[in-house]
């Protein structure tokens, strides 16, 4: 009996060691990228309807010449015979619109395998990433150098990736996000440390400092001063204890997420800010109180102030919609889960859905649908006050699907009261202007990059038509229908790949930054 138990113990130990060795081997082995390359070469797109987002119109039956990755000419009178070296595409009954943007993404070391193929497959040719690294390369999070490399390779047609036009710092959240052993300046305990932090990110190639919810007013002020000195900006969460007017005065270029005015228009916002730990008090009962006690006059004044500022709002309605739908999600019938690795579904998404589904106030009423409805009213009011709204999805968040959720966000914005023409601008021209690259992308105009989508139906007639994707061009590289299908299939295959899932899990566990987040 004792010998049997010893043997069983040794067998279990050997099995555990073997599994650990296998997991480490899979972590070290590289994954194969998508075996999809766009067609290179010049194009002549004949008889296509051009979606002119700037002038909110359709230019019908145009011929579009694309040479060396740029739009060389747009004119219905052009003849393919004069461009015989260009591949002819029949655009009859199709629509040509600018490539879409996602202005709130989070890139991972794994993004080339689970995010980038879907971005291109769904016509998202440009993104703004809202994550980064501290002073070490990270196992899980992508760093500015990674994103710059991906962009350069994609521009050359060597890999599948959207363009990352701006680079972010890692989130600055007052110090609790920083693992032990990292330089003290990341804790942000003085103006000098803020200066050191901003200087570090400037040398890393970041364009802005991402602010987060728990920064104190003093820390936020230090960051704003240090960033201005370095010629950098702030963008991200508006810290809970920082009033909106102070954030606007500090030249935040964008404020993220739909809760912005829900908080700022709350009649008891000063009382909430004075709490020692506002985050700890943020529960279903408080959400109900926020919904029930909105100060409309205060809201009007704040929206008017923000409308006169240069600060954009990225409401990421998809994240609030997730909570609103949490009680009705049928996991077995959620078709788009085919894109999501099972380790993400089980360890991250399902617990998040379950938490949201428990969002009941003291009277037993579900709060998240009412909260989402409140934020939709703020979207319409913000538009009326000329606040610049940009499309972002918080890519990697629960029930957010790379690329596809940009189309969902467009539909959500239109349902909330944003005109279709404005929603399209919010996902094309306005993000390009915000990012300072509107002279090269963001609309279908001569001289600009050929970051384009060919659609089978008119997006101005119905915003859902942005999903009728026939083909995608990235910097002139042509992803035809066969390539689009292959990118979709590659991502689906990766989601069920044991190699990818084990590697994803190991990336999380090997990342000091993720270990801090998971322990929070």
| Run of H or E residues at 275 | none
Cα torsion through 242, 246, 247, 253, rounded to 10 = 180
Per-residue confidence band for 29, with pLDDT thresholds at 50, 70 and 90: confident
SS3 for 385-431 is CCCCECCCCCCCCCCCCCCHHHHHHHHHHHHCCCCHHHHHHHCCHHH
Give the end of a domain, one of 411, 434, 457.
Answer: 434
Give the end of a domain, one of 434, 469, 497.
Answer: 434
Mean pLDDT on 138-148: 97
CATH code of the domain covering residue 356 = 3.20.20.140
* pLDDT (tens digit per residue) in 227-256: 999 999 999 999 999 999 999 999 899 999
Mean pLDDT on 383-410: 98
- Rounded Cα distance, 50 and 17, in Å: 60
In sequence order, the 6+-apart residues with CB closer than 8 A to the CB of 235 are 130, 168, 208, 209, 210, 211, 252, 253, 254, 255, 256
Give one word for 68, left, alpha or beta, with left for phi > 0 and alpha for psi -120 to 50: left
In this structure, are 85 and 203 located in the same domain? no
Let me know if residue 389 belongs to a domain.
Answer: yes
In this structure, are 312 and 392 located in the same domain? yes
Instruction: Say whether pLDDT at 11 is over 50.
Output: no
Per-residue confidence band for 37, with pLDDT thresholds at 50, 70 and 90: confident
* pLDDT (tens digit per residue) in 426-473: 999 999 999 999 999 999 999 999 999 999 999 999 999 999 999 999
Predicted local distance difference test score (pLDDT) of residue 451 = 98
Per-residue confidence band for 519, with pLDDT thresholds at 50, 70 and 90: confident
The total number of structural domains that make up the chain: 2
At residue 273, the 3 state secondary structure works out as helix
CB-CB contact of 433 with 69 (8 Å): no
Let me know if residue 24 belongs to a domain.
Answer: no
Let me know if residue 306 belongs to a domain.
Answer: yes
In this structure, are 281 and 430 located in the same domain? yes
Let me know if residue 1 belongs to a domain.
Answer: no
In order, the DSSP letters of 69-138 are TEEEEE-TT--GGGGTTSEEEE-TT-EEEEPEEEEEE--BTTHHHHTHHHHHHTTEEEEEE-----SS--
Encoded tokens for 505: 């899990």
Edge to edge, the sheet with strand 100-105 lists 100-105, 124-129, 163-164
CA pseudo-torsion sign 89, 95, 96, 98:
negative
* pLDDT (tens digit per residue) in 246-286: 999 998 999 999 999 999 999 999 999 999 999 999 999 99
Q: Would you give the DSSP letter of residue 209?
A: E
Let me know if residue 452 belongs to a domain.
Answer: yes
- Rounded Cα distance, 52 and 98, in Å: 9
Domain extent at residue 80: 43-97+446-485
Predicted local distance difference test score (pLDDT) of residue 274 = 95
CB-CB contact of 208 with 166 (8 Å): yes
In this structure, are 71 and 155 located in the same domain? no
- Rounded Cα distance, 102 and 105, in Å: 7
In this structure, are 71 and 153 located in the same domain? no
Let me know if residue 21 belongs to a domain.
Answer: no
In this structure, are 115 and 189 located in the same domain? yes
In this structure, are 282 and 366 located in the same domain? yes
Let me know if residue 123 belongs to a domain.
Answer: yes
Give the end of a domain, one of 434, 462, 494.
Answer: 434
In this structure, are 114 and 244 located in the same domain? yes
Per-residue confidence band for 12, with pLDDT thresholds at 50, 70 and 90: low
Instruction: Say whether pLDDT at 180 is over 70.
Output: yes
In this structure, are 223 and 85 located in the same domain? no
In this structure, are 378 and 461 located in the same domain? no
In this structure, are 86 and 134 located in the same domain? no
Predicted local distance difference test score (pLDDT) of residue 22 = 56
CB-CB contact of 140 with 510 (8 Å): yes
CATH code of the domain covering residue 460 = 2.30.40.10
Give one word for 403, left, alpha or beta, with left for phi > 0 and alpha for psi -120 to 50: left
Predicted local distance difference test score (pLDDT) of residue 15 = 47
Percent of the chain with pLDDT over 70: 95
Mean pLDDT on 8-19: 48
* pLDDT (tens digit per residue) in 47-92: 999 999 999 999 999 999 999 999 999 999 999 999 999 999 999 9
In this structure, are 215 and 269 located in the same domain? yes
Instruction: Say whether pLDDT at 520 is over 90.
Output: no
Let me know if residue 10 belongs to a domain.
Answer: no
């Amino acid at each position: 009996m004792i010998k049997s138990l010893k043997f069983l113990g040794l067998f279990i130990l050997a099995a555990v060691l073997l599994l650990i060795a296998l997991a480490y081997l899979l972590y070290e082995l590289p994954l194969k990228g998508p075996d999809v390359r766009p067609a290179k070469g010049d194009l002549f797109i004949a008889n296509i309807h051009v979606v002119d987002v700037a002038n909110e119109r359709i230019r019908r039956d145009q011929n579009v010449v694309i040479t060396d990755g740029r739009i060389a000419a747009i004119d219905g009178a052009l003849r393919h015979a004069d461009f015989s070296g260009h591949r002819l595409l029949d655009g009859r009954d199709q629509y040509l619109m600018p490539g879409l943007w996602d202005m709130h993404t989070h890139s991972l070391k794994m993004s080339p395998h689970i995010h980038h193929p879907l971005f291109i497959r769904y016509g998202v040719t440009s993104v703004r990433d809202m994550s980064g690294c501290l002073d070490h390369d990270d196992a899980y999070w992508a760093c500015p150098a990674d994103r710059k490399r991906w962009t350069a390779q994609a521009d050359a047609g060597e890999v599948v990736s959207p363009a990352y036009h701006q680079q972010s710092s890692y989130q600055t959240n007052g110090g609790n996000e920083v693992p032990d052993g990292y330089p003290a300046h990341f804790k942000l305990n003085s103006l000098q440390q803020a200066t050191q932090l901003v200087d570090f990110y400037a040398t890393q190639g970041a364009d802005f400092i991402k602010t987060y919810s728990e920064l104190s007013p003093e820390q936020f002020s230090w960051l704003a001063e240090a960033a201005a000195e370095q010629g950098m900006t702030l963008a991200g969460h508006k810290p809970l204890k920082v009033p909106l007017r102070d954030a606007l005065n500090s030249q935040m270029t964008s404020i993220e997420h739909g809760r912005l005015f829900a908080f700022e228009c709350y009649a008891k916002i000063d009382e909430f800010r004075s709490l020692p730990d506002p985050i700890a008090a943020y529960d279903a009962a408080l959400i109900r109180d926020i919904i029930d006690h909105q100060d409309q006059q205060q809201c009007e004044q704040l929206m008017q102030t923000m409308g006169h500022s240069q600060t954009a709002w990225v409401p990421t309605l998809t994240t609030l919609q997730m909570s609103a739908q949490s009680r009705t999600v049928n996991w077995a019938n959620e078709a788009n889960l085919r894109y999501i690795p099972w380790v993400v579904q089980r360890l991250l998404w399902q617990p998040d859905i379950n938490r949201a589904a428990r969002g009941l106030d003291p009277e037993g009423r579900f709060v998240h649908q009412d909260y989402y409805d409140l934020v939709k009213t703020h979207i319409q009011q913000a538009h009326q006050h000329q606040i610049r709204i940009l499309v972002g999805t918080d890519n990697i968040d629960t029930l957010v699907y790379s690329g596809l959720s940009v189309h969902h966000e467009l539909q959500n914005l239109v349902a909330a009261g944003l005109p279709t023409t404005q929603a399209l601008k919010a996902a094309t021209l306005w993000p390009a202007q915000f990012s300072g690259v509107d002279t090269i992308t963001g609309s279908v105009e001569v001289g600009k990059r050929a970051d384009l989508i060919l659609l089978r139906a008119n997006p101005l007639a119905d915003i859902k038509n942005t999903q009728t994707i026939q083909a995608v061009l990235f910097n002139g590289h042509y992803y035809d229908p066969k390539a689009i299908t292959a990118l979709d299939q590659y991502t689906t295959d990766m989601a069920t790949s044991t190699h990818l899932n084990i590697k994803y899990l190991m990336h999380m566990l090997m990342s000091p930054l993720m270990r801090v987040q998971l322990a929070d």
